[in-house]
Structure 1
Amino acid sequence: MLLVRANYLDGNFQWKTGDIEIEDGRLLRVGENLSFPEDELAVDCSGYTIIPGFVDIHIHGCAGTDTCDGTREDIDNMARFLLQKGVTSFCPTTMTTGRATVERALLAAKACAEQPVEDGARIVGIHMEGPFIAKEKKGAQLEEAILPPDYSWFRELYELSGGLVKLVVVAPEQPGGYEFAEQAKAQCTVSIAHTTASYEEAKHAFDCGVTHATHLFNAMPGLSHRAPGVVGAVFDDERVTAELICDGFHLHPAVLRTAFRVLGDRAVVVSDSMRGNGMADGESFDLGGQLVTVKDGKATLSDGTIAGSVTNLHEEVKNLVSFGIPLEHAVKAATLTPAKVIGMDGEIGSIEPGKRADLLVLDENLDIVAVYH
């Protein structure tokens, strides 16, 4: 199959016009004026833009279901909804809950990854957000389920998932946090979040193996001129990638513009969405054992604490463009960079021969008109 006369982002995220050949779900050839048999199926993409499929490495739920519901049916439902929004790969994300709940979620995600639904996004990893966090910055996480960093327990869960856990969160300033990072980095990417860490503590965590920051700015000390905190440490360290929730609610557009300028290719767009994503406003959405109200596109607990989002990567990329971020930068932050964070950039995240043929065709308004998966 060929997509011809396409305006697409090449492997360096530069705009090119040419042809894209797909064979057996892979990108076979990409370039200008490709030769091909006259009887080969060709789709004229003149006037459209082709980008890689989105990769969401931090998503709890959507379409009424949640990772921690712990059944294959629930996660398959998420996968089907996400593909409609242009997300072709994702990491179901757990919350700070009891061990039995986390175990069920990991096993369900593993089953879905091993036998993916044909009409849904693929699972490319699991993101464990908790329980090794700081109570003072718990956000919408359940306080009674918070535990000190425990590598032995994490390793058991990692093995249970069949090695599918690609991201684990830790508040490194907690007792045993630095040691946890030094050990867990051998299994997966270790991320800092829900933390009270100072600039100095965060920098020490990076030296110990933390290379990522979950939802930067949120659930951590703010950036101050005499106390740079985690945000300042991330800005100051090229080893660390950072998630940004780009719904215009979690972070002000001016903050997003600043973050993208400072982080460059270290910026990662995530949804951090919960089960209310894709549902009507309501007050009966459970998130990790707590009741969440969704109103006017904002998800909050009863005390006003932000409780995830109801956005998706497609909406966020469009938001970023409206905020002044170049389309190619926004797309890279929602595709190749998150793929790199979880070690999947050899398979997904960019339009290059040999990779999966995960492609989105966009019209002049950046709306999705076709998904190849």
Structure 2
Amino acid sequence: MEYVLTNCLIYTEDKVEHGYIIVENQKIKCVEAGHYRGALECHDMHKQHILPGFIDIHIHGGYGQDFMDADLTGLQHLSRSLLTEGTTSYLATTMTQSESAIMTALSTLRDYHHHQSSEGAEMLGIHLEGPFISEHKVGAQNPMFVERPSRARIEKFQAQADHLIKIITFAPEVDGADEVLDQLHDSIIFSMGHTGATFDDINEAAARGAKHITHLYNAATPFEHRQPGAFGAAWTNDDLAAEIIVDGIHSHPAAVDIAYRIKGRDRLFLITDAMRAKGMRSGIYDLGGQDVTVTHNTARLKDGTLAGSILRMNQGLRNMMQYTGRTLEELWPVTSLNQAEALGIEDRKGSITEGKDADLVVLDDDCNVIMTIKHGVMHRFN
């Protein structure tokens, strides 16, 4: 299979190029300026915007499915549905539940990963959100199943997952956190979240090898001028990158703008933190064994606690442009390149470069998804 995408606005690491892309055998064969004049099959993109496919490193589900369901058919449906929002790769994110539920989910995700279809977004690995969090900052996680981290416990989960766990969200202040961070930070990305850690706690954990902040501004100690908290540390520590949910609900638009001004485009990851109700009607849905009421654009537990989001990646990018006043040319790395570099897969994903996977998303001027290309296969939506 070889074809040409012509008349494109191509977003590369260096610039925006009006030109064409040749796709061959699931890979980007070449990226060129100007007009294609060869004999290959051509697809006119009508000056639409072509970006690398989005990589969502924190997503619990969507389109009626949840990764904790441990349902292979559901995983296939979810992966196909993610293409509609431009997501071509993701980390399946688990919840704080019983050991048996987590182990079952991990084994199912392992099996799915080894036999996943090329017809949907690609599961790159697993983000273990909990159970090694603070019972004082559980958010929508279930406090019944919070536990303390240990190397043996993490290695048991990792063995069950066939070493697919790429990120673990944990609270750095709890007993056992220092030890596992010291011992395992070279093989797993430790992300700090659902935590009561102080400013100093966060910085100390970063010095020990923690690399990320989970969903900035949510479920952690807030910034105060005398106690800067987790978010103050996230802002000021250059060794830390931060996830952010840009739905206008989890964080005020001005807070998103502040985060971008401080961290810059290279240290932020746009995530959805989406739950199963994404893409579904308003109603009551399950999240980690708890009922979540979804109305309009929000998902909340009975007590009003935010319970993930129903955000789509392309919507998050549109919102970020609006909240920060920045251009698509400046912002696109927060959807793909930063994630690829963090996961160590930038040699094959995350930017539009010769030799990389042909994982692309075509957007109109309002960030609506016109087409998603996964491993060279075109999926049209508008």
In 1, the alpha carbon distance for the partners of 2:326 and 2:159 equals 40
Q: Which residue of structure 2 lines up, in the alignment, with residue 2 of structure 1?
A: 4
Letter in 1 for 2:367: L
**Is the counterpart of residue 226 in structure 1 residue 234 in structure 2?**
no
In 1, the alpha carbon distance for the partners of 2:35 and 2:240 equals 39
For the 8 Å contact 2:18–2:34, the answer to whether it is kept is no
Structure 1 residue runs without a partner (length 5+):
none
Instruction: Report how far residue 119 of structure 1 moved.
Output: 2.2
In 2, the alpha carbon distance for the partners of 1:36 and 1:26 equals 20
Instruction: Report how far residue 359 of structure 1 moved.
Output: 0.8
For the 8 Å contact 2:315–2:367, the answer to whether it is kept is no
* Cα gap change, 1:34 to 1:25, in 2 (>3 Å): farther
**1:231-264 CA-partner distances (Å, limit 9, x unpaired):** 1111111111100000000000000011011111
Identity %: 34
Instruction: Report how far residue 36 of structure 1 moved.
Output: 6.5
TM-score normalised by L of structure 1: 0.96
Q: Which residue of structure 2 lines up, in the alignment, with residue 236 of structure 1?
A: 236
Instruction: Report how far residue 169 of structure 1 moved.
Output: 1.1
Report 1:45-194 matches (<5 A).
45-194=45-194
Instruction: Report how far residue 37 of structure 1 moved.
Output: 4.0
For the 8 Å contact 1:241–1:341, the answer to whether it is kept is no
**1:20-71 CA-partner distances (Å, limit 9, x unpaired):** 1111111111122477642x11122232111111100000010111000012
For the 8 Å contact 2:20–2:36, the answer to whether it is kept is no
After alignment, is 106-115 or 95-104 more displaced? 106-115
**1:274-325 CA-partner distances (Å, limit 9, x unpaired):** 0111111112x11111111111210010000110001111111111122223
In 1, the alpha carbon distance for the partners of 2:230 and 2:147 equals 21
In 2, the alpha carbon distance for the partners of 1:199 and 1:365 equals 38
Instruction: Report the 3-state secondary structure (helix = DSSP H, G, I; strand = E; otherwise coil) of the residue aligned with 2:281.
Output: coil
Report 1:32-43 matches (<5 A).
32-33=33-34, 37-38=38-39, 40-43=40-43
Q: Which residue of structure 1 lines up, in the alignment, with residue 269 of structure 2?
A: 268
For the 8 Å contact 2:61–2:278, the answer to whether it is kept is yes
Letter in 2 for 1:288: G
Instruction: Report how far residue 114 of structure 1 moved.
Output: 1.6
In 2, the alpha carbon distance for the partners of 1:28 and 1:253 equals 39
Q: Which residue of structure 2 lines up, in the alignment, with residue 368 of structure 1?
A: 369
For the 8 Å contact 2:181–2:209, the answer to whether it is kept is yes
For the 8 Å contact 1:125–1:342, the answer to whether it is kept is no
Instruction: Report the 3-state secondary structure (helix = DSSP H, G, I; strand = E; otherwise coil) of the residue aligned with 1:125.
Output: strand
**1:58-106 CA-partner distances (Å, limit 9, x unpaired):** 0001011100001211222210111111100011100000111111211
In 2, the alpha carbon distance for the partners of 1:213 and 1:36 equals 48
In 2, the alpha carbon distance for the partners of 1:5 and 1:26 equals 19
In 1, the alpha carbon distance for the partners of 2:8 and 2:92 equals 32
* Cα gap change, 1:8 to 1:282, in 2 (>3 Å): same
* Cα gap change, 1:186 to 1:76, in 2 (>3 Å): same
After alignment, is 112-121 or 214-223 more displaced? 112-121
After alignment, is 317-326 or 209-218 more displaced? 317-326
Q: Which residue of structure 1 lines up, in the alignment, with residue 380 of structure 2?
A: none
For the 8 Å contact 2:347–2:356, the answer to whether it is kept is yes
Task: Name the count of aligned residue pairs.
Answer: 370
Instruction: Report the 3-state secondary structure (helix = DSSP H, G, I; strand = E; otherwise coil) of the residue aligned with 1:147.
Output: coil
**Is the counterpart of residue 353 in structure 1 residue 339 in structure 2?**
no
For the 8 Å contact 1:71–1:104, the answer to whether it is kept is no
Instruction: Report the 3-state secondary structure (helix = DSSP H, G, I; strand = E; otherwise coil) of the residue aligned with 2:211.
Output: strand
In 2, the alpha carbon distance for the partners of 1:83 and 1:180 equals 36
Q: CA RMSD in A?
A: 1.3
Instruction: Report the 3-state secondary structure (helix = DSSP H, G, I; strand = E; otherwise coil) of the residue aligned with 1:135.
Output: coil
Structure 2 residue runs without a partner (length 5+):
375-382
**Is the counterpart of residue 289 in structure 1 residue 289 in structure 2?**
yes
Q: Which residue of structure 1 lines up, in the alignment, with residue 330 of structure 2?
A: 329
After the TM superposition, which segments of 4 or more aligned residues of structure 1 sit over 6 Å from their partners? none
After alignment, is 350-359 or 112-121 more displaced? 112-121
For the 8 Å contact 2:95–2:130, the answer to whether it is kept is yes
For the 8 Å contact 1:179–1:208, the answer to whether it is kept is no
In 1, the alpha carbon distance for the partners of 2:189 and 2:367 equals 32
Instruction: Report the 3-state secondary structure (helix = DSSP H, G, I; strand = E; otherwise coil) of the residue aligned with 2:183.
Output: helix
Instruction: Report the 3-state secondary structure (helix = DSSP H, G, I; strand = E; otherwise coil) of the residue aligned with 2:292.
Output: strand
Letter in 2 for 1:11: E
Instruction: Report the 3-state secondary structure (helix = DSSP H, G, I; strand = E; otherwise coil) of the residue aligned with 1:42.
Output: strand
Letter in 2 for 1:369: I
For the 8 Å contact 1:27–1:355, the answer to whether it is kept is yes
For the 8 Å contact 2:150–2:179, the answer to whether it is kept is no
In 1, the alpha carbon distance for the partners of 2:46 and 2:196 equals 51
Instruction: Report how far residue 366 of structure 1 moved.
Output: 2.3
Letter in 2 for 1:372: I
**1:3-31 CA-partner distances (Å, limit 9, x unpaired):** 1231111123x211122111111111112
In 2, the alpha carbon distance for the partners of 1:158 and 1:353 equals 34
Instruction: Report the 3-state secondary structure (helix = DSSP H, G, I; strand = E; otherwise coil) of the residue aligned with 1:210.
Output: coil
**Is the counterpart of residue 344 in structure 1 residue 349 in structure 2?**
no
In 1, the alpha carbon distance for the partners of 2:106 and 2:330 equals 32
Letter in 1 for 2:257: R
After alignment, is 223-232 or 337-346 more displaced? 337-346
